[in-house]
């Protein structure tokens, strides 16, 4: 029987996940949705010609007997409340990033899951499911470039709205690198510094853009990540690993190479939905398969906490300009 899903939040990524659960993935169906704007939820169902119950709020949906597992795709500040309620109800929950907006919130989720005694939470960090990052990790792990010494990374968006503030470059954007680079290197961060280059004239008054985040890991690998969310030209994710005996780069998404009018070119994607479309499919299929097999895997609440601890330090570093230490508590046995 198909896994019956309830979805909280039917905005940009909520509707994309409802579409993929209804049209692309195997073994699941969306039976319930909710949004603080119920008309928005109803519009999404109508647009997908999908029949599902619209619940008045997330808590009613979590308690609904037909809902066997949850997707939390509402605004970040609401995630903690819904994930804790799902754990209390003993229902598996896929939560979009960030798991919670502070490390303290993630810690409460980790504690609730440990008290429950087994994993129920998968965090929506999709990059470890991306074929390009997996190929890059296979090269790093093979030892072909020796020990990784430095990483040069970039996370560029064409533009962002007026409500995107300087700290969101960390909590909304860099958070993906904070997760995936830890996974790529199998290492934890020990310090961070944030530098602000000359500001682009394309950013609104309250936003400092671009930013450079300098991380150091426990093994001494140095990482620089450029966050530039008004780069104009495209959605561009770069990662280069410099090792002792070679360099490995994240592959570009495949695009036709065009020779035309005396130039050689290939298109650059404009948004995250397209760039990581396959990774989102694979991560959610893994959640569905895991729940049906009685074993939730993938990025854990601990990974959500590790990213949030680093993010809190990055924000402190944005404000102080200093090198800020990052220290994770001891990893609990549940996440070994
Ligand atoms: P959005 O603003 O388009 O949609 C959020 C929806 O949640 C809205 O429809 C809003 O009305 C609803 N909502 C807010 N609070 C709610 C509550 N208490 N109960 C029910 N519904 C509520 O935002 P978007 O872009 O869809 O982002 C949602 C989450 O997904 C964010 O945490 C964001 O960081 C994450 N995200 C993850 C991405 C990824 O690459 N993994 C990409 C984009 C977003
Ligand atoms: C967005 O919320 C995402 O999660 C995207 O993956 C990221 O690239 C973008 O910068 C965020 O705003």
| Residue 282, φ and ψ in degrees, nearest 5 | -70, -40
CA of 172 to the centre of ligand 2 (A): 6
- What is the model's pLDDT at position 33? 98
Q: For position 253, what pLDDT does the model report?
A: 93
* 243-269 confidence digits (pLDDT tens): 999 999 999 999 999 999 999 999 999
Question: 97 C-alpha vs ligand 1 centroid, how far in Å?
Answer: 9
- CA distances 320 to 179, 225, 258, Å, are 23, 18, 47
Q: What is the CA(63)–ligand 2 centre distance, in A?
A: 30
Whose structure tokens read 């509402």?
Answer: 74
Structure pTM?
Answer: 0.96
What mean pLDDT is predicted for residues 216-231? 98
Q: pLDDT, tens digit, for every residue of 39-92?
A: 999 999 999 999 999 999 999 999 999 999 999 999 999 999 999 999 999 999
d(CA 6, CA 18): 9
pLDDT at 1 over 90: no
Q: pLDDT tens digit string along 108-157?
A: 999 999 999 999 999 999 999 999 999 999 999 999 999 999 999 999 99
Q: What pLDDT, in 10s, does the model give residues 162-211?
A: 999 999 999 999 999 999 999 999 999 999 999 999 999 999 999 999 99
DSSP type of residue 230: T
For residue 311, give both structure tokens.
């993010």
Which ligand approaches the C-alpha of residue 235 most closely? 2
Which ligand approaches the C-alpha of residue 54 most closely? 1
Q: What is the mean pLDDT of residues 216-220?
A: 98
**What does the alpha-carbon distance between residue 170 and residue 86 come to, in Å, rounded to a whole number?**
27
């Amino acid at each position: 029987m198909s896994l019956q899903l309830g979805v909280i939040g039917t905005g940009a990524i909520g509707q994309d996940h409802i579409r993929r659960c209804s049209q692309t993935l195997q073994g699941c169906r969306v039976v319930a949705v909710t949004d603080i704007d119920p008309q928005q939820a109803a519009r999404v169902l109508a647009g997908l010609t999908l029949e599902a119950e619209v619940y008045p709020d997330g808590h009613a949906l979590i308690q609904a007997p037909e809902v066997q597992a949850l997707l939390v795709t509402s605004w970040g500040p609401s995630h903690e409340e819904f994930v804790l309620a799902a754990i209390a109800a003993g229902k598996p929950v896929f939560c979009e990033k960030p798991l919670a907006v502070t490390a303290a919130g993630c810690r409460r989720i980790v504690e609730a899951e440990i008290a429950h005694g087994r994993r129920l939470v998968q965090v929506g960090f999709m990059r470890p499911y991306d074929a390009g990052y997996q190929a890059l990790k296979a090269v790093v792990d093979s030892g072909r470039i020796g020990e990784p010494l430095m990483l040069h990374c970039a996370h560029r968006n064409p533009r962002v709205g007026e409500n995107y503030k300087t700290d969101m470059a960390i909590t909304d954007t860099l958070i993906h690198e904070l997760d995936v680079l830890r996974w790529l290197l199998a290492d934890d961060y020990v310090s961070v510094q944030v530098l602000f280059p000359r500001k682009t004239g394309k950013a609104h008054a309250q936003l400092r853009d671009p930013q450079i985040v300098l991380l150091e890991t426990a093994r001494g690998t140095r990482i620089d990540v450029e966050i530039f969310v008004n780069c104009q030209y495209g959605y561009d994710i770069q990662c280069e690993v410099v090792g002792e005996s070679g360099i490995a780069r994240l592959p570009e998404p495949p695009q036709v190479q065009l020779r035309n009018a005396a130039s050689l070119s290939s298109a650059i994607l404009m948004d995250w939905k397209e760039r990581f479309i396959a990774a989102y499919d694979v991560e959610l299929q893994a959640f569905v398969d895991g729940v049906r097999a009685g074993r939730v895997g993938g990025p854990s609440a601990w990974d959500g906490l590790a990213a949030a601890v680093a993010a809190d330090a990055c924000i402190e570093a944005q404000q102080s300009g200093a090198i800020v230490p990052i220290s994770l508590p001891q990893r609990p046995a549940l996440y070994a």
